[in-house]
Homo-oligomer: A and B are copies of this chain.
Amino acid sequence: MENKEYIYLKNLLEEHLLDFLPEVDHKSITLYESMCYSLSAGGKRIRPVLLLAACDFCGYDIKQALPYACAMEYIQTYSLIHDDLPAMDNDDLRRGMPSNHKVYGDAMAILAGDGLLTSAFEAMNKDMLLYFDDPDKLICRVKASYEISKGAGCRGMVAGQASDIENENKQCSKEMIDYIHLNKTAALIISAIMSGAYLSGADDEKRRDLSIYAECVGLAYQIVDDILDICGDQDELGKKVGVDAKQNKSTYPAIYGLEESRRRATELLENALNIMAPYYDQAEVFTAVAEYLLKQIK
């Protein structure tokens, strides 16, 4: 992603990424190190960047949204740590580096994930404590945190992961693959953008447009990922391809075919671009993300 504003938000996020972890005692240094190891492993940081971009789009001070953006990345990182475990996808590599459990062992990796997930809510709750004399801002924060909990939990990401695992080695229905995609990937992307809107106290119109954009990009994101696992270039992507087929995962192309997958992703991303077009430069990051995804499947 080469957009300057995207890079600015990503850098800001990375600069503050460890600031909202609780102060961990030196006796728990291994736990802390294992959490930081995975947090610092890079990646596109697309969810927290979209959260910050939504705040900026709504005219809100992005610095005040940093605890929520970092919480979002703690949640994303915990899900990758647990996902890589031998009991789950059994991935030894993540972003070209050994997975958390390969460095710290399975037990510490489980706890690092649990610690990051709890830290996300601890960080958001701690931030709320600062707004006791400003009930309006406090309410915006509670709404944002609730939105994130929904996207991360049992009617969001965890539900998607569970269905994904249950449907390995199965011929699953179109309805089921849509459900898996919506929950495994789209839910957290949607809640990143919408929590930014809630934090900012966005008006109804902007919130509606953000919600349409979020759903389109959230759904397209996993379809593009599935397509790249078939057609992508290993070196360019920085990760192995062909993994889904090897694990007998239910993917979009496996159920709908490659051409229909491309068509559907393109349609979703064009919808996303259309909804943001009237905002011109104000929606620069949103446009850049949709165009980046479109380019990858061209």
Known A115-B153, A118-B154: A145·B159 in contact at CB below 8 Å? no
Q: Are B22 and A154 in contact (CB under 8 A)?
A: yes
B-binding segment of A105-113, A206-214, A221-229, A275-283: A105-113
Q: Are B125 and A142 in contact (CB under 8 A)?
A: yes
B-binding segment of A24-32, A41-49, A61-69, A265-273: A24-32
Q: Which A residues between 150 and 201 are near B, CB-CB below 8 angstroms?
A: 150, 152-155, 158-159, 161-163, 165-166, 176, 179, 183
**Pick from B28, B87, B88: contact of A154, CB under 8 Å:** B28
- Closest chain B residue to A23, Cβ basis: B155
Known A153-B115, A162-B108: A146·B132 in contact at CB below 8 Å? no
Chain B residues closer than 8 Å to A118, beta-carbon distance:
117, 149, 152-154, 158
Chain B residues closer than 8 Å to A27, beta-carbon distance:
159, 163, 176, 179
Q: Are B129 and A146 in contact (CB under 8 A)?
A: yes
Q: Name which of A86, A88, A107, A150 has the most chain B CB atoms within 10 A of its CB.
A: A107
Answer yes or no: A249 CB below 8 A from chain B CBs.
no
Q: Which A residues between 92 and 141 are near B, CB-CB below 8 angstroms?
A: 105-108, 110-111, 113-115, 117-119, 121-122, 125-126, 128-129, 132, 135, 138-139
Q: Are A155 and B88 in contact (CB under 8 A)?
A: no
**Pick from B122, B128, B155: contact of A153, CB under 8 Å:** B122
Q: Are A111 and B165 in contact (CB under 8 A)?
A: yes
Q: Are B32 and A154 in contact (CB under 8 A)?
A: yes
Chain B residues closer than 8 Å to A119, beta-carbon distance:
153-154
